[in-house]
Chains A and B, each alone.
Chain A
Amino acid sequence: MYSLTSSRLMTGNEAVAYAVKQADVDFISAYPITPQTIIVERLSEYVSSGEVDAEFVPVESEHSALSACIGASLTGARVFTSTSSQGLALMHEVMYIASGLRCPIVMAVANRALSAPLNIHGDHSDIMGSRDSGWVLIFAENPQEVYDYIIQAFRLAEHPEVLLPVAVNLDGFTVSHSSEPVAVLEDAVVRSYLPRNPRPRLEYEEPSSFGVFALPSHYFEFKVEQERVLRRAGELVEEISRAYPNSHGRLVKLSKFNEDGRIAVICMGGTTGTVRHALKHHGLEDFSLISLKLFSPFPGKELLEALSEAEGVVVMDRATSPGAALPPLASNVAATLYEGGVSLPLLSVVYGLGGREPTLKMVLEMLDKAEERLRARGRAVSRMYLGYGGGVA
């Protein structure tokens, strides 16, 4: 497999752009927003220099960016966009339409906090606001995963049984702006991994109507069918990742570390690396780490398997759901446990809002208090804000 790859120093954003270029993308439309901007800057350079034969449409808003992507996708083109934060919020309406019209658009989201107050730094509030929009949602931990997952996202999105949009999430700044060596595939290898599959499209000789309106007699069936297809996308992850030429970079629904630990820490995105480091270098054998790569469709079955020996679970959310019973990841985990008939004490940790990065010290402090919190509350749920007010609240 090493003959297929070479190593390049890249930030998360550069890894996105490089993967999109190699994917032989046809159409890109985007609008500048921090911390995603570098992705489209690089892609415009690739288009301008002829390194990729694509049209780059620099639109006047993110709403128009995703709208243009839908139009382009319905011609059969391979389509990419990227955004962050307010830009994603502005796309919100169109995200539901992209999935409803079964457009296999791939989007990179350099996750960033939502206003107000205005904040350009990393957290997952943006994508969690659109988590019910019917997209496949993938979270990458580092630039290498970003690169590998973008390429596999095209394969998954364009799978004839899927035809759904896929968003690959990378933490704003911590992943989007951090450089590391990334093993990249040869162009030809990526091309052969991403064949062109025919799909329904706009063509005068075979006229179809896209975006019709459906009354109560049919709308419900459309939506349930869409949910079924999203579940099917989850089932197909293994198939599309098994074919991925770099076996180290295959998309998994979740990955495990310290499997024998009694208490499982569930985390997504860049912070996973900090938690793994803490477990590895501080002798915390009581803890295992479950790094969730696929958030939607939620891999409940795999998660239950991974938790089969666990005595407690710590769920780290980089977003809040004000007014809800639990933040988004914790509520999915709790529902999965309930569905599996498993009763485990659960500690819901909200961390890192607006770019307050969880340091190693903070993570160690969290783990130090976790066991006590889990035991003290018996089988109930307890909550923690990590880094709030400078400590553990």
Chain B
Amino acid sequence: MQVSKLLDLYGREGLSPGHSACQGCGATIAVRQVLLAAEPPYIVVSPTGCLEVISTPYPYTAWRVPWVHVAFENAAAVASGIEAALRVLERKGLGRRHKIIVIGGDGGTFDIGLQAISGAFERGHDLLYVCYDNEAYMNTGIQRSAATPIGSVTTTTPAGKRERKKDIVSILVSHGSPYVATASPHLWKDLANKVRKAQSIEGPTFLHIVAPCPRGWYYDSSLTIKIAKLAVETRVFPIYEVENGKYRINYLISRPRPVEEYLRLQSRFAYLLRPENAALLEEFKRWVEERWNQLLKLAAAFPP
């Protein structure tokens, strides 16, 4: 069912309030939206990360839905096991199938968990993998990951990261996934409908969500949604979906806002904006432009 108004999302909250995430945490806003949109019955699997730590300090849990965490690099493998086991238990009359939703951060997805994700997608398990991308290892204190954009300062890139962000979407598309999409919590209807669409498709699907982090991006916690919006409107985080190899840009940004509007609000880019680092800033802009142009070409070459 298409989500067109807030009432369409009325239902069981998967993640209850009272957890210990930071004020303005983009990840928990995204997770709340994902779970409000998700069709029951489902099981959530998380790798190690902020989400796991803020939601389950024993003896408390913020999860109102079945949830499991095993380790950092293996969420997709754990999900594979649950999915396949429930298939056979249903066949034998010993259980029933659930939809499987993996929710992991960028460290558990782009870096340490990539092998398990690749395996699960190659084997074709029926699951939705959601990556909330806050562009660094926030749980351990803001270290760079493969998702950290060029020029961003982290505790392990004190002079700004020199490498570009890994293109995770293309990696999953290359696995032959039937549905890979990006989303932003400020576009909640788009996000919710992508969750429903992904869940309606058999096979491994992927949703990449931008999740601003006040603590690690160094901005005021009231600005999370504004920053997510700016990421999209500056073309830093394009919103698109790839269905069976067909590209659709959901938000065609014809007149992008200057990248500096996005960068200036976040102290992680203060170094990048210094006059002496103009070359690095140019490289950041080139990255944004090249990705956008490549996306336009893909959308033209492989239209829905």
A286 to B43 Cα, complex, angstroms: 62
Total contacts A to B, CB within 8 angstroms? 162
Interface: B87 (CB within 8 A): yes
Contacts of B275 in A (CB 8 A): none
> Which A65-87 residues have a C-beta within 8 angstroms of B?
65, 67-77, 79
Q: Which residue of A lies closest to B73 (CB)?
A: A63
Q: Which residue of B lies closest to A97 (CB)?
A: B70
Contacts of B92 in A (CB 8 A): 26, 53
Interface: B85 (CB within 8 A): yes
Contacts of A321 in B (CB 8 A): none
Q: Which residue of B lies closest to A56 (CB)?
A: B84
Q: Which of B56, B84, B86, B94 touches A57 (beta carbons < 8 Å)?
A: B84
Q: Are the C-beta atoms of B119 and A211 separated by less than 8 Å?
A: no
- Known contacts A68-B78, A205-B41; A61/B119 CB under 8 A: yes
> Which A168-217 residues have a C-beta within 8 angstroms of B?
196, 201-215
> Which B111-169 residues have a C-beta within 8 angstroms of A?
115-116, 118-119, 122-123
Interface: B171 (CB within 8 A): no
CB distance from A50 to the nearest CB of B (A): 12
> Which B162-204 residues have a C-beta within 8 angstroms of A?
none
Contacts of B81 in A (CB 8 A): 27, 29, 57, 67-73, 79
CB distance from B100 to the nearest CB of A (A): 9
Q: Are the C-beta atoms of A57 and B82 separated by less than 8 Å?
A: no
Contacts of B74 in A (CB 8 A): 63-64, 67, 94
A213 to B72 Cα, complex, angstroms: 13
Q: Are the C-beta atoms of B70 and A71 separated by less than 8 Å?
A: yes
CB distance from B99 to the nearest CB of A (A): 9
Q: Are the C-beta atoms of B56 and A209 separated by less than 8 Å?
A: yes
Contacts of B73 in A (CB 8 A): 63
Interface residue tally for chain A (C-beta within 8 Å) = 47
A70 to B98 Cα, complex, angstroms: 17
Query: B60-86 CB contact bits vs A (8 Å, 1 = yes)?
Result: 010111111111011011111110111
Q: Are the C-beta atoms of A75 and B82 separated by less than 8 Å?
A: yes
- Known contacts A70-B70, A76-B94; A212/B85 CB under 8 A: no
Q: Are the C-beta atoms of B88 and A71 separated by less than 8 Å?
A: no
Q: Are the C-beta atoms of B70 and A211 separated by less than 8 Å?
A: yes
A53 to B90 Cα, complex, angstroms: 11
Interface: B42 (CB within 8 A): yes
Binding site for A on B (CB under 8 A): 40-43, 45, 52-53, 56-59, 61, 63-71, 73-74, 76-82, 84-89, 91-92, 94-95, 98, 115-116, 118-119, 122-123
Binding site for B on A (CB under 8 A): 26-27, 29, 53-55, 57-61, 63-65, 67-77, 79, 93-94, 97, 101, 196, 201-215, 218
